[in-house]
Amino acid sequence: PPEQFPFILICYSGRIKPTMAFHSVRSCSVGKFAVWVMALCGLAGAVSAQTCVLGGFPVFLHGEGLVEPLADLTVTCTGGTLSSTASISLYVSLNATVTNRQDADGVPVGISITGATGSFRLSSPTTLSFDSMRYTVTGAPQEIRLKGIRVAVSMLGGNAAVVATVFGAGATLSNAGVPIFLGTTGPSLLTSAIYSGVPCRGSQLPSSLDYAGFMGISAFSTVRVTEAATASLVAKRPGEDSGTRLLVKISGYGPGSRVFIPDAIVGNSGTQATSTGAFFNSINSGIYTPGANQMLVARVIGADTNAAGGSPAFSLPGGVTTFSTMTEVTMTGGAGSVIYEVLDANSNLTESLQLPVFVVVPATSCPSTLLPAVSVVLGPLSTVATSSATEPMPRFIAAVPGSDCLLLNDCAAPYFPKLLVDQTPITLSGNSLGSIRSATVLVDNAGSGILPFTTSVQYSQGSGWLSVTPPAGLSGVALQVTANPGSLAPGTYAASVTVAGGAFGSAVIPVTFTVGPVGVVIQNIGNAASFQYGTVAAGSYAVLYGQNLAGKNVSVSFSGLLAELLYKSATQINLIVPATLRGVAAAAVTVTVDGVASEVFRVSMTPNSPGIFTPGIVNFTGGQVNTVTNPVSRGDFALVFLTGLADPLTGPVTVNIGSQSGLIPAFAGPQGLAALFQVNVVVPASLPATPNPVPLQVCAGASSGAPVCSNTVNLYLQ
């Protein structure tokens, strides 16, 4: 020992109690070398002559699991004196956290020792100590098994292995420190889905709420659940709270929908598997024969949202049973969940089961916006990756399963959807600050069922200039791929659009966008008085903003009709919208500068788009512009000048002043100058002293719908 003090070690040739060596060493204050002393002395007569080999046969472990039971760790010892008592201590270090349930004293539950007597303790989250395990030397190889150790496999990530590194004392371990493989991990659940969607005609509620009734008249979707490895789905085992559970989440059916699911599902190992025929299987509600190792899962009642707690709706049947009962799922906003527990399974087969989801909905307007989705994960769910006294066993992380079609070799089967997208490269061109450019891409389904898809954009040069509408949906739609030059500098930009249909395919469309220099550009058009943009009235004053608008010969046309220009600069043109456009919903505006035309800018047209000029109010008495120094008296006329009213008027004109609205003016109509209108209104004498000024607004009625109101301006009161 490294301690620098002398001591006497007395070894007896006969058998002594190991505690004698411990006590004598502790009295010398070197207790930490107790195991070393035991090995040196050769306690129990012949332990020093024992040679032991560590071993283990690795088992498959749920890659999603948090309390997975490892294979037995074996210790096989030979040698020693016949009938003597041997003792060995082992220190087992794992590469995953030990997660056995704890008792009230914090001791792991479920771990046992066979072939020897002894105790164990959790030395650290990943280390177990098996202290002074004793056995009688028989002359034959002595096998000790350490059983029931559980670990958090999911923390290892991906496909991994659980290994134990073991050191010991009291015997010679020939492979001490050599990793012992006790488990291999990987995904344990795979799924596929065939969605039938919701027909426009609706889906009816049958008169008999059983399997046969729903199969006759109700729409359904089907999810197939397959084990990624044998014995992935197992019935309740000793020391566990439940069998493996399936947490099924249902969404996308819309408010008011009703969803029904079977109370029991028989797997493909059953006498007759539960099937809707969605995967070309015969239609059957499921027949189970006990004692034949057939897959059977039952709906769970009373579980929480993580699939913990509660119990199956029925126990394992005692005789051959045909299942037909259905249960309605509680739905909130078109979404709900249901939990199933494995009651029976065959550990020698890779099993699968089919879960039908029936929907009852009223008729809808086509195309339907409902996008049903059913997902399945192992349960109960948890995030606790340490030993616990309360967490459920088994428990799993929420891991999204992959597709099972590769395992079952049916990815190309006609019952699956198949994404079909035109992948012809898209080439677009435009000018910096110019209008957007777009192309159409058809997304279709060459298979069966409905095919949900999503889109994404990846950039090679530049960013933010490409968009796809709609960003997600169902097959059978035309995507609009839109490139916006915005403020991009002249040059060539590249990107790609990915259309992803999950397991049913994906497609990538290259996009090239060539951006030229800034040309004649229209950026916005609006009312010249209110500066409200996007909508103008025929025969009104309008303002047009843009780039490179100046030149020797400048013209502006609205759907081919030339506008009267009142002011021109490189960035702004004031004009009068052609009056002959009355009754037109929209106009295509083009600016032409010295023979170079801008891109078309579309503007909405409306009979009335009133805008009050600023300043735009004149006091009738005195004829002065209404200002803070020239206020109008209550009870006197105010003359309001504006543009954007229809000529002739298409409806009543009203005025809002302060808190009083709907005032009828004494006059409203053209003023004499082109595009200029005048409204004469009496300022109510009842207006309070404050506030001052008050807002004034002119509204023009329409033949239908709410009146259109102008901007608000200040009216100063005497």
Per-residue pLDDT of 467-517, as tens digits, reads 999 999 888 899 999 999 988 999 999 999 999 998 789 999 999 999 999
Bridge-based pairing of strands 637-643 and 296-301 is unpaired
3-state secondary structure (DSSP) of residue 78: strand
pLDDT score at 504: 86
Query: Predicted confidence band at 658 (pLDDT cuts at 50, 70, 90)?
Result: very high
Query: Predicted confidence band at 157 (pLDDT cuts at 50, 70, 90)?
Result: confident
Q: For residue 661, is pLDDT > 60?
A: yes
pLDDT score at 713: 97
**Among 424, 439, 565, CA closest to 507:** 424
Bridge-based pairing of strands 59-62 and 180-186 is parallel
Query: Predicted confidence band at 78 (pLDDT cuts at 50, 70, 90)?
Result: very high
pLDDT score at 474: 83
pLDDT score at 703: 56
Sign of torsion, CA 197 200 201 207?
positive
Is 14 exposed, middle or buried (CB count within 10 Å of its CB: 0-12, 13-18, 19+)? exposed
pLDDT score at 362: 86
Q: For residue 11, is pLDDT > 80?
A: no
DSSP state of 272: B
Q: For residue 4, is pLDDT > 50?
A: no
**Among 468, 553, 556, 537, CA closest to 675:** 537
pLDDT score at 423: 96
Query: Predicted confidence band at 20 (pLDDT cuts at 50, 70, 90)?
Result: very low
The answer to whether 312 touches 301, Cβ cutoff 8 Å, is yes
Q: What's the CA gap between 313 and 67, in Å, rounded?
A: 25
pLDDT score at 130: 97
- Strands of 541-547's sheet in order across: 521-527, 541-547, 572-576, 564-568
The residue among 3 and 332 whose pLDDT is bigger is 332
Percent of the chain with pLDDT over 70: 92
pLDDT score at 44: 37
Residue 248 forms beta bridges with which residues?
A: 338, 376
The residue among 235 and 451 whose pLDDT is bigger is 235
Residue 352 forms beta bridges with which residues?
A: 226
Q: What is the mean pLDDT of residues 533-547?
A: 96
pLDDT score at 2: 38
pLDDT score at 702: 66
Name the residue type at position 550: A
Q: For residue 399, is pLDDT > 50?
A: yes
Percent of the chain with pLDDT over 90: 81
Question: pLDDT (tens digit, 9 = 90+) per residue, 270-292?
Answer: 999 999 999 999 999 999 999 99
Predicted model pTM: 0.67
Q: For residue 46, is pLDDT > 60?
A: no
Q: What is the mean pLDDT of residues 605-631?
A: 96
Question: How far does Cα 543 stand from its chain's mean position?
Answer: 46
Question: pLDDT (tens digit, 9 = 90+) per residue, 408-460?
Answer: 999 989 999 999 999 999 999 998 988 889 999 999 999 988 888 999 999 99
Question: pLDDT (tens digit, 9 = 90+) per residue, 204-231?
Answer: 999 999 999 999 899 999 999 999 999 9
Q: For residue 36, is pLDDT > 50?
A: no
pLDDT score at 368: 60
**Among 671, 668, 670, CA closest to 651:** 668
**Average pLDDT of the chain to the nearest whole number:** 90
Q: What's the CA gap between 199 and 189, in Å, rounded?
A: 31
pLDDT score at 369: 58
Residue 165 forms beta bridges with which residues?
A: 93
Q: For residue 47, is pLDDT > 60?
A: no
Q: For residue 178, is pLDDT > 80?
A: yes
Q: What's the CA gap between 496 and 440, in Å, rounded?
A: 14
Query: Predicted confidence band at 32 (pLDDT cuts at 50, 70, 90)?
Result: very low
